[in-house]
């Protein structure tokens, strides 16, 4: 709570101008939380890596958001409150958004704080596995927070995957020929959203293979036994984790592409519309996976029930067959002097033959009816 109170005080302009003690990110003394920090002018990286304070100074000297072509991009990985507090003061970040960025475990969303957009993305990585087991980890999740202001972009990443380093290098090299860095911080926000959603598409394609494998196992000829229900349930849990990352993000992406969103440049809104379309496709796939796995669980349980019924029918049929000789021998095992065929010369083989004939007849009858 002390941090939040300090941040609420820090967003007041007078305090922010007076307090320059936040900058512990001087060259050679940068904490491990800072992955990269640079200034971009006219779509090109200006100078080498610098501290956030130096980046803010350079942007201000170049005209900042007044020319619409200069901004800073600060990338952090799992910062502590102390490491992030100074940056939040310098750029006037809202305390609630700062708290979400530091502590993570947030629901995917896009919020607006004055002229700053705060976006939360769930990053997904497919975990390679030779065979799906009841304890297999199929997807690994992380979090990525983005602050996009008029002249800055701050990214905060949680988790050991989905690094933005490759994306930053690709934008700097303008590999796509789109010149997105010339369009400012909101173009970077789009690039990050597109990067995250593209990973969703890749993971969805890999999950399709796992779902197809489970579907084949469930309906393969296994004597009505079905597959291991633990495998189906584990994959369903992993798909549910994926679903929680994808579904809440669809509406915010659609809102960023709507004309009513005046904070985002209309040219950038077209790009967000493409991201929303891709995200809608992933959402449909994930919902389809979830529904299909529900059906597979029911089908597997039905197969187990059918298998148990078949076992009971077999047991009942054999019990009925063995009941015949048991009954007949039980009758002839009684100690009475006057019983039919008791002293007949061929009485014993006749009884055995009758027992065998009855048992064979019952066996054929059960086989014909599918009980054996």
**pLDDT on residue 275:** 93
**pLDDT on residue 351:** 77
**pLDDT on residue 181:** 87
CA–CA dist 197, 176 (Å, integer): 17
**pLDDT on residue 49:** 85
**Structure tokens, 229:** 């229900």
* Three-class secondary structure assignment of the chain: CHHHHHHHHHCCHHHHHHCCCCCCCCCCCCCCCEEEEEEEECCEEECCCCCHHHHHHHHHHCCHHHCCCEEEEEEEECCCHHHHHHHHHHHCCCHHHHHHHHHCCCCCEEEEECCEEEEEEEEEEECCCCCCCCCCCCEEEEEEEEEECCCEEEEEEECCCCCCHHHHHHHHHCCCCCCHHHHCHHHHHHHHHHHHHHHHHHHHHHHHHHHHHHHHHHHCCCCCCCCCHHHHHHHHHHHHHHHHHHHHHHHHHHHHCCCCCCCCCHHHHHHHHHHHHHHHHHHHHHHHHHHHHHHHHHHHHHHHHHHHHHHHHHHHHHHHHHHHHHHHHHHHCCCCCCCCCCCCCCHHHHHHHHHHHHHHHHHHHHHHCCCC
**pLDDT on residue 152:** 92
Q: Of 145, 108, 117, 119, nearest to 283 (Cα)?
A: 108
Segments in the chain below pLDDT 70: 1-32, 64-68, 175-178, 221-227, 260-261, 335-342
CA–CA dist 30, 51 (Å, integer): 8
What is the dihedral sign for C-alpha 260, 266, 270, 275?
Answer: negative
**pLDDT on residue 200:** 95
**pLDDT on residue 284:** 94
Q: Give, in degrees to the nearest 5, the angle at Cα 271 between 270 and 275.
A: 120
pLDDT in tens, 162-218: 789 999 999 988 856 567 888 889 999 999 999 999 999 999 999 999 999 888 888
**pLDDT on residue 9:** 44
For 62, other C-beta atoms within 10 Å of its C-beta total 18
């Amino acid at each position: 709570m002390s941090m939040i109170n300090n941040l609420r005080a820090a967003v007041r302009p007078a305090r922010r101008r007076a307090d320059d003690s936040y900058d512990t990110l001087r060259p050679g003394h940068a904490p491990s939380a800072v992955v990269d920090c640079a200034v971009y002018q006219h779509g090109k990286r200006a100078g080498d890596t610098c501290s956030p304070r130096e980046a803010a100074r350079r942007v201000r000297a170049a005209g900042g958001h007044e020319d619409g072509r200069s901004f800073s991009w600060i990338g952090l990985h799992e910062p502590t409150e102390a490491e992030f507090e100074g940056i939040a003061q310098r750029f006037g970040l809202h305390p609630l958004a700062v708290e979400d960025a530091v502590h993570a475990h947030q629901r995917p969303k896009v919020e607006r704080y004055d002229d700053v957009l705060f976006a939360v993305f769930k990053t997904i990585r497919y975990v390679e596995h030779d065979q799906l087991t009841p304890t297999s980890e199929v997807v690994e999740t992380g979090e990525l927070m983005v602050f996009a202001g008029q002249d800055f972009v701050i990214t905060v990443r949680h988790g050991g995957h989905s690094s933005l380093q490759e994306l930053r290098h690709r934008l700097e090299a303008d590999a796509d020929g789109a010149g997105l860095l010339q369009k400012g911080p909101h173009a970077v926000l789009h690039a990050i959203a597109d990067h995250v959603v593209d990973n969703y598409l890749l993971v969805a394609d890999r999950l399709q293979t796992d779902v197809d494998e489970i579907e084949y196992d469930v309906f393969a000829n296994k004597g009505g036994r079905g597959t291991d229900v633990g495998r189906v349930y584990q994959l369903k849990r992993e798909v549910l984790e994926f679903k929680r990352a994808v579904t809440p993000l669809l509406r915010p992406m659609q809102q960023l592409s709507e004309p009513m969103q005046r904070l985002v440049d209309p040219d950038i809104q077209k790009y967000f519309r493409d991201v929303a379309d891709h995200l809608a496709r992933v959402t449909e796939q994930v919902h389809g996976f979830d529904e299909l796995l529900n059906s597979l669980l029911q089908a597997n349980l039905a197969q187990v029930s059918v298998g148990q019924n078949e076992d009971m029918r077999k047991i009942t049929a054999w019990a009925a067959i063995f009941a015949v000789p048991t009954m007949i021998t039980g009758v002839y095992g009684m100690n009475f002097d006057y019983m039919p065929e008791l002293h007949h010369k061929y009485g014993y083989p006749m009884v055995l033959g009758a027992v065998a004939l009855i048992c064979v007849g019952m066996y054929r009858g059960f086989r014909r009816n599918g009980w054996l």
